[in-house]
Every structure is written in structure tokens, then in C-alpha cells.
């Protein structure tokens, strides 16, 4: 969702990612742009810059946010100042009487909005990673104001006339590739925002954008509250049979923090499936946990109901698409993606569906056999799948998660696994520093250095789960790389790893290990960016390409050389035994029918909701889900969608509307690229250098399929994906 000329990009992980865009009505009367030449205004500007850390560049290394100075009361005045500043800059560009040129139109647009970018970069991540009632309140007020600000820019007729003049000029043929890409980005953004519409239709688009911005903010704030309200309280420790001592201690501490003395609290994560279901022996408690997850947002027992918000957003998106000349929102969204049209995304999913459903049903046979051993008759139910799948995994590979976790201690995974891999590939070093202010005590900061010792950027790591953090995992950029602005990148990875009880080590599941590799894959896409213009920096690429560099890095997590370096017992420091290592790698492809089907079902729900017209908006959310899943043959009851509509944050409050399919689309590229690199020798500096130069450094400065061909030598094939997912 666009919120300014140079939007902050927020990227996430396929299982957990949440992308949040916010915008709002601002209080205050801070005019820091107009009349800067007057003595009074100059004095006022100096005073405001002293008071508000966002009104001037940070003095910290690489202009990183000074969290020691940033307070809640700074956000709204800074947003107001930033909007005023950028509108003045835009007016100067639009009113320029000279013939439009790259230098007097596009360059100043790229330089505009410095204050707004500073405050928005911090605020959007705080609203996701460290929110509270005050931030949520600000967010609700900011949302419609920033939506209106975006429209004030992209519906500015004089400004669009200048951009269109450049688009139609012969002069652009003499520009370099990056300049031409920048013009294309701007021209298409104006057209897709409605710059060609008549005044009446533009007014309606503005109203829809403001209403949608408020609804998406309300949805994401509801989701945080819903996740809290759906936590499961357990009275008796005997019900927790199957959990480790550390997990039980953590549940007890969580309950005590909520003033539930003598009880145990099981938090709900953002996906339908819940990691705790792998271990809980008590079937009735498993059912309670699953239902708490799957039925959230439906208004049960007086709880919050997200269905009215969803229906309103679906209707408004369809209205806007029609106004802009598209059949539906999916057609609008996919126009500038690699897929091009909804039909291409639907076809990819439909072609895979029969084989994936068959694979899941085959997996269910083994699950039912284990259920029968426990004297449980009947069909597999959703709360049975993960528990008994873990038993099947243990039987097939003589392994269970409790055997492996002691070898996946957080510090070793991070330094000897993730950092080791990226160092081997790209010749970089991560050096932790403790002198930088952070927004939470558990956040860590690292200098990222090249093999020549020169600084590439800063990396912030925020790994632990907390109530103030939204579910999922994502990457964000506080400072995007840009040669034009002389900026080195400052990026952050955010995850939700459960906090262990006091004094206990942080032992990770393989999913969390893989997520760490994935998110730093996004991180280096931002860190290695080497472009001129901030709008083309780092992860500023189509949504169905942006997950390619991150997913590509996942497979290094189970690469034998990498595993041997980090998979060591947290107590003895002994390496993971060879047979356990081999079983772990083999077991990694287990249950892929389930995992692929739950993902595909969610992707089809997303495309389904966004392929309807306004008149086709249903009245019953649950019924719509059921009919759509049946239509595409993925309505297999034991395997529900990874996200159901009422808590599908990716597509309602995030940037993935009609784009959740992108994870699988990107995985085709990632699997093909990883297989190619493996054929070329695997974890070598030569391979890393090639991938960095051809893909990670290019951002949006080159058409993305061409980036892939530059690296791979040809377009991708699906064979490696099928093998990666254990489907071939």
C-alpha cells in the first residue's frame, strides 16, 4: 500500500509474515516548511529540531534511529511536519515553469519527504514490533491522513503532466537503465493511483483510500487484541503432559504475568496451526487450542468480530478497481507483478492442487494408523494432525523435535549458522555493538562489514515474542540504501521466538532456524543494495519476486556443512550425531503435503476474495470460505487453510492482498536457483559474489526476470520446487 513517494518496504516470512502499512489525521500546527527564510520561522525550526528527533537526521552511525530520544509524543508532530515539508517540495516541482527533465522532476521527487520517511520508518515498525495503546491510537489517527497525503501527490494533475511528458519524450531513450526504471515506477504509480480519472472519480478514489486505511488499521489492532483474548488458560499441570519442563515453566510464567496464579497460559500464534500441538498429549486440550486459533475473529462468546471489516474491505477494493478500469482488485494488483494476471496465479495453484491433496491424504493414512494405536477411531481431525504427524516422523526417521532442539541453541544458530553462512557466501562479518540505543532490551545491533573491513550497513535483530509484538516474522528498513542520498542501509529482522523461562537456554525448532535464515535473506537484499535512487532500493521489487532472495537462503539451514558448524549440543558442545543429522535432513521433507495444502488453501482464499466484484461481495464469510475451497478441490477438512479470513493479516492489513500466492511463485525461483548454485559447487565465495552482483544488489533497478536470467542463464523450471517440497 502506497503511503508516500518513497514507501518503506516491510517484508515477511511465508508462514508468518505480516506487512503493516499505516497512515492518519494529525494533531498540531507545526509549520516547519513554509517561510523558512523568516527569522521567526528559522528560530522555531531550530527549537523544534532540538525537541523532536525526527525533524533532523540522527547523529548516530549511519543515521540510525535514536531510540533513546524518541518518545510517543514526537510521532504526530513529526508526521505533520513531514507532510507539510513534502507537499511544499512537491508543489515546487509541479509549479516549475521549465520544461520537465529528469533533473528537475524525478530527482527532486526522490529527494523529497525526508522527515516523513524518518518518522514513518520508525513508527511502522514500532506499531508492529513494540506497540501499545498509545501507538495504536496514533495509528488510527494517522492512517487516513497519510492515505490522503499519498493521493495529494499521485492525483496532482500538474505533477502528473510533468511525469507523463517525460514518459512520452524521446529523451528517455538516452537515459541509463536505472533512470528508465525509475521513470516507469513513477509513471505507473500515478496511473494506477487514478491520475487519469476525472475529478468526480478521483474524489471517490480518495474517499475509498481513506476509508480503507482506517479499516486496515482497525483490523490489525483488532488482531493483536484477538490473539490475546484467545489464549488458552489451563488449570492443571497434568493437562500439559507432553510439553517439556521448560515449556511448562514458560506457560506458568506467562500466566503469572497475567495475574493468573496457579494456572498455565498457552499463547496463540498467528497461523491456524499451533506449534504446541506437536507435543500436547491431551486430545481435548489440543481441540481447545486449535479452536481458539481457527475460530478467532468470528465474534465467538462476545469476542471481537473481524468479519464486518473484511466484507467492507473486500467491497471497497472491488469498487476502487472498477473505478480504475480493472475487472477486480486481483487484476489491479497483479498487473505489475511477475504473474501479470490472476489467471496465471490461479493456474499455478490449480495445477498443483490434485497432486498436493493426494499427497496429504496419503500422509493421513499413516496418521490414522497411529490414532488407532491410541484407540481413537474415525476421521483425522485438524487438532490430531500435527501431534500424530510428529509420531509418524519419529517412526519413519527415529527422531522427534525434543531430540533435535538441544542442538539448535539460538546463539549458535545465529553466529555459527546464519552469520557463518552469509560470511562464507558473501565475505561479510557481523560485529555486535552495545553502544546503540534500542527500542527494547532484547534487541541487538550488529555492524555489517565487508571483507575489506568497510561498513556495509547496520543490522538490528529482534527475535523474542512479547505481548507488544504482532505475530509473525518480517524484515524492515529504517534507512534504505541510496547513492543519491549518500545512505548506507539500516535493516531489522523481527521474529516471535518464545522466551524461555529465566535461566533456561533458547532452544529452537527447525522452523524457527529456517526462519532466521529466511529473514536475513531479506536483510541482505536490503544490505547489499547498490542503486542510485531510493525508490528502487533493496526490496523495492514485485511482491512475487521479493520472497525469492529470502526463500533461497532457507536451504542453507539444512546444508550439511552449515549444520555441522552450528548444530552442537548446548550443554556438551558435541556436534549433532551423524545419524541424527541425516534423519533431520530427511525429515525436513516430511509432511509437505499438509504444509503445501494449507498454504495453497490460504492463497486461493486470498485470490478468491479479491477476484469478486462489488456486487458479488458475500454476506457470510464462513460460507464463502467453504464454497471457494470446494470449488478448487482443496476442501480437505483435516488440513484447514494456514490463515482463515478473519485473521489473514497478510491480505487485509498487510501488503499481500491478491498476492499471497507470491510465496510459492518465489519458491519456484528459489528452488531452481539453489539447485543451480549447488551444481556450481555450493557454499563458495564465487557463487555468493555472482548472486550478490546479479540479484541482491540490483533492487528494482532492473526488470526482475532479467535479473534471474542474468544469474541463472535461463528462466526457472518447477522441477526443483517439487523435489524441495517432497512432491517428486
Give the confidence band of 237 by pLDDT, cuts at 50, 70, 90: very high
Give the separation between CA 508 and CA 510, rounded to whole angstroms: 6
pLDDT average, residue stretch 445-472: 95
Give the separation between CA 722 and CA 728, rounded to whole angstroms: 5
The pLDDT score that the predictor gives to residue 50 is 61
pLDDT of 110 > 80? The answer is: yes
pLDDT of 136 > 80? The answer is: yes
- The full 3-state SS of 665-676, as one line of letters, equals HHHHHHHHHHHH
The string of pLDDT tens digits covering residues 673-727 is: 999 999 999 999 999 999 999 999 999 999 999 999 999 999 999 888 888 887 7
Instruction: Using DSSP, state whether 382 is helix, strand or coil.
Output: helix
pTM, entire model: 0.86
**DSSP bridge partners of 232:** 266
Give the separation between CA 405 and CA 704, rounded to whole angstroms: 38
In a domain? residue 521? yes
551-589 b/e (C-beta count within 10 Å ≥ 16 → b): bbbbbbbbbeebbebbbbebeeeebbeeebbebbeebbe
**pLDDT over 70, % of the chain:** 93
Tell me the pairing of strands 444-449 and 429-433: antiparallel
pLDDT average, residue stretch 335-364: 94
In a domain? residue 671? no
In a domain? residue 170? yes
The reply to whether 519 belongs to the active site is yes
Least confident range from 426-430, 439-443, 587-591: namely: 587-591
Question: What CATH number is given to the structural domain containing 471?
Answer: 1.10.1370.40
Give the confidence band of 48 by pLDDT, cuts at 50, 70, 90: low
pLDDT of 505 > 80? The answer is: yes
pLDDT average, residue stretch 506-527: 96
pLDDT of 658 > 60? The answer is: yes
Give the separation between CA 702 and CA 177, rounded to whole angstroms: 7
For 153, 355, 656, 688, the CA distances from 352, given in Å and listed in that order, are: 42, 6, 21, 32
Give the confidence band of 394 by pLDDT, cuts at 50, 70, 90: confident
Domain's final residue, options 576, 602, 633: 576
pLDDT average, residue stretch 583-608: 91
Give the separation between CA 179 and CA 201, rounded to whole angstroms: 31
pLDDT of 443 > 50? The answer is: yes
What is the grid cell recorded at 80? Answer: 505533520
In a domain? residue 480? yes
The pLDDT score that the predictor gives to residue 47 is 55
Q: Which long-range contacts (CB under 8 A, 24 or more apart) does 329-335 make?
A: 329/610, 329/611, 329/657, 329/658, 330/607, 330/610, 330/611, 330/658, 331/611, 332/192, 332/658, 333/610, 333/657, 333/658, 333/659, 334/658, 334/659, 335/192
pLDDT of 205 > 90? The answer is: yes
What is the grid cell recorded at 399? Answer: 527422531
Instruction: Using DSSP, state whether 143 is helix, strand or coil.
Output: helix
Give the confidence band of 584 by pLDDT, cuts at 50, 70, 90: confident
Q: Which of 519, 547, 595, 598 is catalytic?
A: 519
Give the confidence band of 27 by pLDDT, cuts at 50, 70, 90: very low
The pLDDT score that the predictor gives to residue 21 is 34
Please work out, in degrees rounded to the nearest 5, the angle formed at the alpha carbon of residue 314 by the alpha carbons of 345 and 133: 115
In a domain? residue 453? yes
Give the separation between CA 312 and CA 617, rounded to whole angstroms: 9
Mean pLDDT in the chain?
A: 91
Give the separation between CA 425 and CA 695, rounded to whole angstroms: 14
Residues 167 and 183 sit within 8 Å (Cβ to Cβ) = yes
The pLDDT score that the predictor gives to residue 342 is 97
Task: Report the sign of the C-alpha dihedral through residues 545, 546, 547, 552, in that order.
Answer: positive
**DSSP bridge partners of 233:** 265
Domain's final residue, options 199, 225, 251: 225
Instruction: Using DSSP, state whether 255 is helix, strand or coil.
Output: helix
pLDDT of 16 > 50? The answer is: no
pLDDT of 44 > 70? The answer is: no
In a domain? residue 437? yes
Domain's final residue, options 206, 225, 244: 225
DSSP assignment, residue 227?
H
pLDDT average, residue stretch 315-322: 98
460-481 b/e (C-beta count within 10 Å ≥ 16 → b): bbbbbbeeebbbbbbbbbbbbb
pLDDT average, residue stretch 202-219: 95
Residue 465: alpha-carbon gap to chain centroid: 16
pLDDT of 668 > 70? The answer is: yes
Q: Which long-range contacts (CB under 8 A, 24 or more apart) does 59-64 make?
A: 60/436, 60/437, 61/436, 61/455, 61/458, 62/455, 62/457, 62/458, 62/479, 62/487, 62/488, 62/489, 62/490, 63/479, 63/487, 63/490, 64/436, 64/458, 64/478, 64/479, 64/490
Residues 216 and 21 sit within 8 Å (Cβ to Cβ) = yes
Residues 6+ apart with CB under 8 A from 77: 26, 28, 30, 48, 52
In a domain? residue 3? no
pLDDT average, residue stretch 510-520: 95
Give the separation between CA 261 and CA 257, rounded to whole angstroms: 9
The pLDDT score that the predictor gives to residue 49 is 53
Provide the domain limits for residue 530: 409-576
In a domain? residue 498? yes
What is the grid cell recorded at 479? Answer: 534507512
Residues 6+ apart with CB under 8 A from 412: 566, 567, 568, 570
The string of pLDDT tens digits covering residues 272-308 is: 999 999 999 999 999 999 999 999 999 988 889 999 9
Overall number of domains in the chain: 2
pLDDT of 29 > 70? The answer is: no
Amino acid at each position: 500500500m502506497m503511503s508516500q513517494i518513497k514507501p518503506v518496504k516491510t517484508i515477511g516470512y511465508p508462514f508468518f509474515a505480516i506487512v503493516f502499512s499505516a497512515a492518519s489525521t494529525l494533531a498540531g500546527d507545526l509549520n516547519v516548511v513554509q517561510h523558512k527564510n523568516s527569522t521567526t520561522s528559522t528560530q522555531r525550526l531550530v527549537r523544534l529540531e532540538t525537541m523532536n528527533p525526527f525533524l533532523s537526521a540522527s547523529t548516530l552511525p549511519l543515521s540510525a534511529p535514536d531510540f533513546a530520544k524518541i518518545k510517543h509524543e514526537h510521532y504526530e508532530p513529526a508526521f505533520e511536519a513531514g507532510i507539510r515539508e513534502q507537499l511544499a517540495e512537491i508543489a515546487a516541482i509541479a509549479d516549475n515553469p521549465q520544461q520537465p527533465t529528469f533533473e528537475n522532476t524525478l530527482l527532486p521527487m526522490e529527494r523529497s519527504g525526508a522527515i516523513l520517511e524518518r518518522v514513518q520508518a520508525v513508527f511502522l515498525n514500532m506499531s508492529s514490533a513494540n506497540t501499545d495503546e498509545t501507538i495504536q491510537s496514533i495509528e488510527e489517527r494517522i492512517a487516513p491522513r497519510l492515505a490522503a497525503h499519498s493521493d495529494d501527490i499521485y492525483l496532482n494533475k500538474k505533477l502528473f503532466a510533468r511525469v507523463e511528458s517525460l514518459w512520452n519524450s524521446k529523451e528517455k531513450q538516452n537515459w541509463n537503465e536505472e533512470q528508465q526504471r525509475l521513470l516507469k515506477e513513477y509513471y505507473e504509480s500515478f496511473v494506477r493511483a487514478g491520475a487519469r480519472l476525472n475529478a468526480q472519480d478521483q474524489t471517490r478514489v480518495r474517499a475509498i483510500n481513506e476509508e480503507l486505511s482506517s479499516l486496515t488499521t482497525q483490523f490489525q489492532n483488532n488482531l493483536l487484541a484477538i490473539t490475546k483474548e484467545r489464549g488458552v488458560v489451563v488449570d492443571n499441570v497434568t493437562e500439559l503432559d507432553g510439553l517439556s519442563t521448560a515449556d511448562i515453566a514458560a506457560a506458568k510464567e506467562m500466566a503469572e504475568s497475567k495475574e493468573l496464579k496457579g494456572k498455565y497460559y498457552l499463547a496463540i500464534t498467528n497461523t491456524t496451526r499451533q506449534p504446541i500441538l506437536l507435543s500436547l498429549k491431551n486430545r481435548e486440550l489440543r481441540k481447545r487450542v486449535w479452536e481458539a486459533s481457527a475460530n478467532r475473529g468470528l465474534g465467538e462468546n462476545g469476542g471481537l468480530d473481524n468479519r464486518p471489516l473484511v466484507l467492507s474491505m473486500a467491497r471497497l477494493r472491488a469498487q476502487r478497481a472498477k473505478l480504475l478500469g480493472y475487472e477486480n482488485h486481483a487484476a489491479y494488483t497483479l498487473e505489475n507483478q511477475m504473474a501479470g494476471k490472476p489467471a496465471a496465479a490461479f493456474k499455478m495453484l490449480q495445477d498443483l492442487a490434485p497432486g498436493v491433496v493426494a499427497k496429504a491424504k496419503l500422509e493421513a493414512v499413516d496418521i490414522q494408523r497411529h490414532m488407532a494405536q491410541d484407540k481413537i477411531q474415525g476421521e483425522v481431525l485438524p487438532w490430531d494432525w500435527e501431534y500424530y504427524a510428529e509420531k509418524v516422523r519419529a517412526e519413519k526417521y527415529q527422531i522427534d523435535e525434543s531430540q533435535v532442539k538441544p542442538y539448535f541453541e539460538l546463539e549458535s544458530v545465529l553466529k555459527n549458522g546464519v552469520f557463518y553462512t552469509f560470511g562464507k557466501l558473501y565475505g561479510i562479518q557481523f560485529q555486535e555493538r552495545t553502544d546503540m540505543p534500542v527500542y527494547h532490551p532484547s534487541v541487538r545491533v550488529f555492524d555489517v562489514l565487508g571483507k575489506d573491513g568497510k561498513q556495509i550497513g547496520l543490522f538490528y535483530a529482534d527475535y523474542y515474542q512479547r505481548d507488544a509484538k504482532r505475530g509473525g516474522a518480517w524484515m524492515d528498513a529504517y534507512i534504505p540504501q541510496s547513492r543519491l542520498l549518500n545512505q548506507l542501509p539500516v535493516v531489522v529482522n523481527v521474529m516471535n521466538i518464545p522466551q524461555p523461562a529465566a535461566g533456561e537456554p533458547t532452544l529452537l525448532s527447525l522452523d524457527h532456524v529456517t526462519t532466521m535464515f529466511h529473514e536475513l535473506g531479506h536483510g541482505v537484499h536490503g544490505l547489499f543494495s547498490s542503486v542510485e535512487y531510493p525508490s528502487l532500493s533493496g526490496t523495492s521489487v514485485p511482491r512475487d519476486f521479493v520472497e525469492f532472495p529470502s526463500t533461497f537462503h532457507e536451504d542453507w539451514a539444512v546444508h550439511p556443512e552449515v549444520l555441522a558448524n552450528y548444530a552442537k549440543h548446548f550443554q556438551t558442545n558435541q556436534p549433532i550425531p551423524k545419524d541424527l543429522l541425516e534423519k533431520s535432513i530427511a525429515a525436513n521433507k516430511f509432511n509437505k503435503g499438509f504444509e503445501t495444502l494449507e498454504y495453497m488453501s490460504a492463497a486461493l482464499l486470498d485470490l478468491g476474495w479479491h477476484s469478486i466484484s462489488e456486487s458479488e461481495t458475500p454476506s457470510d464469510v464462513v460460507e464463502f470460505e467453504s464454497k471457494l475451497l470446494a470449488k478448487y478441490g482443496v476442501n480437505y477438512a483435516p488440513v484447514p487453510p494456514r490463515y482463515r479470513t478473519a485473521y489473514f493479516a497478510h491480505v487485509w492489513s498487510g501488503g499481500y492482498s491478491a498476492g499471497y500466492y507470491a510465496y510459492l511463485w518465489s519458491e519456484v525461483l528459489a528452488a531452481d536457483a539453489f539447485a543451480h548454485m549447488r551444481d556450481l559447487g555450493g557454499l563458495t565465495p564465487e557463487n555468493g559474489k555472482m548472486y550478490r552482483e546479479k540479484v541482491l544488489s540490483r533492487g528494482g533497478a532492473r526488470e526482475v526476470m532479467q535479473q534471474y536470467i542474468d544469474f541463472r542463464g535461463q528462466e526457472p523450471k518447477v522441477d526443483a520446487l517439487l523435489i524441495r517440497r517432497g512432491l517428486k
